[in-house]
Amino acid sequence: MTVCVGATLVALAAGCGDSGVGGTNNVTGRVAVDGSQALEPFNLKAQKSFNDLTADEHSSVGFSSDSSALRRLCSGEIDVAAVTRPIDAQTEGRLCAQHGITYHRILVGYQAAIVVANRSLGIRCLTTSQLSGLWRSGSKVSNYSELGSGLPNSSVSLYGPTTSSSVFDLFTSRINGRAGDSRRDYRPFVYPKGPQFIAAVGADRAGLGYFDYAWIENQPGYVSAVAVDSGKGCVGASLQTIRDGSYSPLARPFYYYLDVKQLVRNRQAKVPSTAVATFLQVALSNEAAFAAHNFVIPLTAVEITNERISWLKAVRAYERQKRLSAGSAN
């Protein structure tokens, strides 16, 4: 594996060179990562590659929640907050400012829940209100026709992920307004049993359910993807609609938040990169491999290039401000 960062924006996009913020394998230091459980498998892959590259044995990956991780980042307790939402500028952002932390956000992937139904049902689209009526805790809907005209007169037979999965939290929070709010009379499937989930829905003429898009994107079977209407028309799940944000509300981005200072190497030292910069470069350079079968929809090559450029711009802006501040003090 080659881990390097270019001296210019063009070179950075290619991932090679020496800008003073990237590096090779001559790096020491630990990296502490915390955040959403949804990103833990991805983070563990990045940690292992980072450890192999640097011979580090002290870096850590944990999971708590978005809010806890961002508070810990802004308090200087961890190096990377791996989260599923933007930072709150009024609360977490102020906490960062109080502790002298200049945060920067890096997009690392996406997650989405896809709704599928047995083809014989003929269900092509459901509104978010219909999905909530069907799936919310205490729902008494027992026939799809109860959800509105045009839906089949068929008994409800539901399938989905286990309650401990991150896509369960995504679906219930976005559709029912609170993570964990769900009826329980459905057949649960654990990861990595996407193919079994598809087979079960395909074999049940009344079957309908939702699962993680990354696990069943290309699975065959007698099922149809069900588009979702959140008020702007029916939108189906696809890599394009997930990445451009139009598959709402059942898709979300994954972010790394970190302190820009942790990306700036000491140019007086003979170490080519900081530990955090190397960890980030490892994650971006191997993003597609780490994403595979780890609940993460990968970035495109263009998106990775854009994130690398934004990283370098943030470092350059920080260094420029630091020089200006030093000049003013003198």
pLDDT in tens, 64-79: 889 999 999 999 999 9
Indicate whether 266 belongs to any domain.
yes
Report the distance separating Cα 178 and Cα 191, nearest Å. Answer: 22
pLDDT at 27: 64
Q: How many CA atoms lie within 13 A of 324 on its CB side?
A: 6
* 55 and 100 assigned to the same domain: yes
Of 251, 269, 304, the position where a domain reaches its end is 251
**Same domain for 176 and 131:** yes
- Provide the pLDDT confidence category of residue 22 given band limits of 50, 70 and 90: very low
**DSSP state, residue 243:** H
- Asked if 272 and 26 count as a contact pair (C-beta separation under 8 A), the reply is yes
- Domain of 281, CATH number, reads 3.40.190.10
- Using the CB atoms, write b or e for 192-230: b if 16+ within 10 Å: ebbeebbbbbbebebbbbbbbbbbbbebebebbbbbbeb
Mean predicted confidence (pLDDT) in 171-190: 95
Please tell me whether residues 135 and 241 are part of one structural domain: yes
Q: Answer yes or no: is 1 within a domain.
A: no
Residue 28: pLDDT above 70? no
pLDDT band at 10 (very low <50, low <70, confident <90, very high): very low
Spatial separation of the C-alpha atoms in residues 164 and 40, rounded to whole Å: 13
Question: Token pair of 61, please?
Answer: 């990956």
State how far the Cα of 318 lies from the Cα of 27, in Å rounded to an integer.
22
Residue 162 in this model has a pLDDT that exceeds 60? yes
Based on the domain organization, do 76 and 117 belong to the same domain? Answer: no
78 in the same domain as 29: yes
Q: Are residues 235 and 301 in the same domain?
A: no
Q: What integer pLDDT is reported at residue 210 of this predicted model?
A: 96
Supply the range of the domain harboring residue 16.
Answer: 9-109+254-329
Q: Could you tell me the pLDDT band of residue 53, with boundaries at 50, 70 and 90?
A: confident
Give the residue among 33, 208, 194, 226 at the shortest CA–CA distance from 124: 226
The last residue of a domain, from among 202, 234, 251: 251
Single residue among 251, 267, 285 that ends a domain in this structure:
251
- Which pLDDT does position 206 carry in this prediction? 97
d(CA 177, CA 184): 16
213 within domain boundaries: yes
Q: Give the model's confidence band at 192: pLDDT under 50 very low, under 70 low, under 90 confident, else very high.
A: low
Quote the DSSP letter at residue 214.
Answer: H
Amino acid at 207: G
Pair (157, 196) in one structural domain: yes
Residue 3 covered by a domain: no
**Same domain? 263 vs 315:** yes
Q: Coil, strand or helix: which one is 176?
A: helix
Look at 25-29, 52-56, 165-169 and tell me which has the smallest mean pLDDT: 25-29
For residues 244 and 265, membership in a common domain is answered with no
**Stretch among 12-16, 23-27, 311-315 having the lowest mean pLDDT:** 12-16
The owner of tokens 């810990």 is 72
Domain count, the chain: 2
Could you tell me if 234 and 277 lie in one domain?
no
